Amino acid sequence: MDIVLGRSNRGVLLWQLDANGQMVIEPQLVTSLEQEVARREAGPMSPRWVWDDTSRWYPELIRAGVRVRRCVDLRLSRAIIRRSPLTAETPMARAAFASWDQPTPEPRSPVGAPSAGTLFDWEPETADDPTVEFFEQLAAIEGATDPARLRLLLAAESAGSLIAAEMKFAGLPWRADLHEALLTDTLGSRPRSGERPAKMQQILEVVRTALGAPDLNPDSPTELLRALKLAGIEAASTRSWELQNIDHPAIAPLLDYKKRARILSSNGWNWLETNVISGRFHPDYVPGGVVTGRWASKGGGGALQLPKQVRGAVVADPGWVLVVADAAQLEPRILSALASDRAMAEAGQAGDLYAGIVASGAVDTREQAKLAMLGAMYGATSGEAGRLLPRLAKSFPRAIALVEEAARAGERGEVVSTRLGRGSPRGAVPGWDETSTVAEKERVRAQAKSWGRFTRNFVVQGSAAEWALCWMAGVRQRVFELGDSAPSRAGANAGASWLRNSPHLVFFLHDEVVVHCPLDLAASVETALRAAAVDAGRLLFGQLPVSFPISVAAVASYADAK
């Protein structure tokens, strides 16, 4: 059963729909959202909550200790429907840009500050009415080429929005004391603001001496490049990978300095102070924030770029563990499934896909297999990856043909699609006329090639993101059920009791999840993670013989996961 929520100047409005999607009663004014949602969630048939934007509704419910099983995030759903090839012929896809295509506006009048008027004097512009939007979306789904796929995608996307809000609230367990010890160890003790930590300063002096540049500021690429040149080092840039190849006494300490400077600026004391509160790191995830469907993160400390070096500060609470699970070689496996490439699926059966590719005789070493696969998915044309590609194509023609076709489609300016129907953005239509110069033609061709690499990667990265969403949604459901059946722990009555009693997701990184879990439930959580991975493969690819193995480790510290 679906329940639509909306805001009016009198408070929250609730529309209840019956099984046929008809409104059964006029909207009711809700006096306590938390109580209303909690009451209906406790019933035998938990509803599907339909709202404009999960990030505007769910956090306050979570804070009140209320958990929601299912929802529809209208804004995320609309974004998918508007761009999906599956719905290209529907009115919603053809309609002009509307307010629903923009970020959710701030509520016009805050709840709790009702203006004068009768109960139902709220007359939203039709365009803003969530029931109207919801019905239009349902119609678009009905009119889709493959409604089942689209429904799965939208359900997964909305489940993701719930998970993002729950993970932000729960936070990743973070030991500030360990983080500080790590900083002191690699940088020296915390300096006054504006100064360099002692160890960095020492290394810098070595660099300055070796270059004969006593005042060098190595953080300025311009200055550094000039100092290198004066010391007789011809470098086109100051990138580490380029400096690596230079034989000069200044290079090793310089690279060392850059490494440490990076930690200081991205995850130093400032980061710690602003992002770790009461032993938790609360990242701002943005579901669907990347064109391919991957999540992004905004502000909040760069959750999706969390360096391996600081993961030692991520430590489970006493009596708890972190169950870290990683979908091994997800993208190449997704590719083999997308292409129904049985040879590649077989190569992946034993557990290590790259070893399987070597065993098939396609290439000679595991490193080659990995390089060639990445090159195939990214569109590498030169270097070793480019050279290996023909050998890969010979052994796995279907998989390689799939990415090649995606690339050609992009070059022609066509839309490509993920497994469940997320559409790529429309590329610029390539073309030139007789007046174009050779250089212009070359530039157009280069742009088309570049867009082809994007669409090539889009189908794989985007489908992998769908697998990950389905996996995580399954993990969430299974793991909460574990908590429900677990013996009640002390203080389980008020607020978000699932945080204190149940295993729950605390981190997500594209193909990896972390569950914070009471010690005695670790084995059950592992089972849940593996079962959800199997489910995700079935949901996306049915009975295709492609496996998606995951590695699971129950650890005290994230740094020990692999």
Partner DNA sequence: GACGGCTCCAAA
Partner DNA sequence: AACTTTTGGAGCCGTC
Q: Return the residue of 7, 78, 294, 516 that touches DNA, per CB under 7 A.
A: 294
Q: 454 or 480, CB closer to DNA?
A: 454
Q: 264 or 358, CB closer to DNA?
A: 264
Residue 289 engages DNA in binding (rule: CB under 7 A) = yes
Q: How far is the CB of 362 from DNA (least distance, A)?
A: 18
Q: Return the residue of 496, 511, 533, 541 that touches DNA, per CB under 7 A.
A: 511
Q: Return the residue of 380, 399, 470, 505 that touches DNA, per CB under 7 A.
A: 380
Please give the DSSP secondary-structure letter assigned to residue 100. G
Q: Which helix (H) or strand (E) holds 14?
A: strand 11-16
Residue 41 engages DNA in binding (rule: CB under 7 A) = no
Q: How many CB atoms lie within 10 A of CB 19?
A: 9
Three-state DSSP class for residue 24: coil
Q: 34 or 560, CB closer to DNA?
A: 560
Rounded-to-integer distance, Cα 562 and Cα 236, Å: 36
Within the chain, what is the greatest distance between any pair of CA atoms?
Answer: 81
**Closest of 15, 9, 200 to residue 121, by C-alpha:** 9
How many of the chain's residues bind DNA (CB under 7 A)? 59
Q: How far is the CB of 380 from DNA (least distance, A)?
A: 4
Q: How many CB atoms lie within 10 A of CB 379?
A: 22
Q: Return the residue of 317, 378, 397, 447 that touches DNA, per CB under 7 A.
A: 378
Residue 476 engages DNA in binding (rule: CB under 7 A) = no
Q: Return the residue of 39, 63, 94, 239 that touches DNA, per CB under 7 A.
A: 239
Residue 312 engages DNA in binding (rule: CB under 7 A) = no
Rounded-to-integer distance, Cα 249 and Cα 21, Å: 73
**Closest of 458, 460, 436 to residue 341, by C-alpha:** 460
Residue 220 engages DNA in binding (rule: CB under 7 A) = yes
Q: 15 or 271, CB closer to DNA?
A: 271
Q: How far is the CB of 544 from DNA (least distance, A)?
A: 22
Q: 221 or 545, CB closer to DNA?
A: 221
Asked if residues 287 and 489 have their Cβ atoms less than 8 Å apart, the reply is no
Asked if residues 362 and 353 have their Cβ atoms less than 8 Å apart, the reply is no
Q: 253 or 483, CB closer to DNA?
A: 253
Residue 387 engages DNA in binding (rule: CB under 7 A) = no
Residue 510 engages DNA in binding (rule: CB under 7 A) = yes
Residue 241 engages DNA in binding (rule: CB under 7 A) = yes
Stretch that binds DNA, among 159-167, 196-204, 232-240, 546-554 (CB under 7 A): 232-240
Q: 441 or 489, CB closer to DNA?
A: 441
Rounded-to-integer distance, Cα 79 and Cα 71, Å: 16
Q: How far is the CB of 53 from DNA (least distance, A)?
A: 17
Q: Return the residue of 308, 426, 443, 445 that touches DNA, per CB under 7 A.
A: 308
- Look up residue 370 and give its two tokens: 């990995």
- Look up residue 267 and give its two tokens: 């995850």
- Look up residue 317 and give its two tokens: 């609470």
What residues pair up with 285 in beta bridges, in sequence order? 297
Asked if residues 207 and 254 have their Cβ atoms less than 8 Å apart, the reply is yes
Rounded-to-integer distance, Cα 408 and Cα 431, Å: 15
Rounded-to-integer distance, Cα 120 and Cα 107, Å: 17
Asked if residues 127 and 100 have their Cβ atoms less than 8 Å apart, the reply is yes
What residues pair up with 321 in beta bridges, in sequence order? 517
What residues pair up with 562 in beta bridges, in sequence order? none
- Look up residue 553 and give its two tokens: 């480790």
Per-residue binding string, DNA, 512-531, x by CB under 7 A, is x-------------------
- Look up residue 350 and give its two tokens: 């034993």
Q: Return the residue of 84, 90, 158, 297 that touches DNA, per CB under 7 A.
A: 297
Q: Return the residue of 32, 35, 240, 436 that touches DNA, per CB under 7 A.
A: 240
By the criterion CB under 7 A, which residues form the site for DNA?
A: 217, 219-223, 225, 237-241, 258-259, 262, 264-266, 270-271, 286, 289-292, 294, 296-302, 304-309, 371, 374-375, 378-383, 385-386, 450, 453-454, 457, 461, 509-512
